[in-house]
Structure 1
Amino acid sequence: MRHNTRAWQVKRRERTRQLIELGGLVAKADLVELTGDDRAVILGLLVEAAATLRGESREQQLTLWRRRGRRAFDPENCQ
């Protein structure tokens, strides 16, 4: 029983960390400020992105977004 509790705690911490990191990406993209912290708009953007990834241009879109994301992470591009 104790092992199961420990494993659950580790998984929960990992999930919490993942969610915090994803929230940080939303903030880094300026989506919070640009949308006035309108969570329905932010979710709509993410739903739209998911729909795009279900389409035929999935690989092209992933390549484009990956390039843009890497540029955003580049310290030389930071403001």
Structure 2
Amino acid sequence: MLDTPEEAVRLIRTQIRTTRPFALAPAEVDRALAWADGGGRLQALAALHRGEPAGFSIVLRSGLRPEWRVRPVDYLLMTLAH
């Protein structure tokens, strides 16, 4: 858990940007970087600020499909649950 939507999206961006380009299917390199540096991250931030989940996935050369999912957490409800 992270404290802000910005921190959550920053972590996804870091993980995407540090994925080895040779591990990605060729078409996915540009798509992944476009998400990390452009509209995808902005849409994810907007969704989180609206209280909605967001996510992104890429396809590796191996055919595996890693996926990042983030969702807002209501800290007040978590505090009351403990």
After TM superposition, is the score higher than 0.5?
no
Higher relative contact order (CA 8 A, sep 6+): 2
TM normalised by structure 1 equals: 0.30
Q: Compare CA radii of gyration and give the structure with the larger one.
A: 1
Higher percent of residues as strand: 2
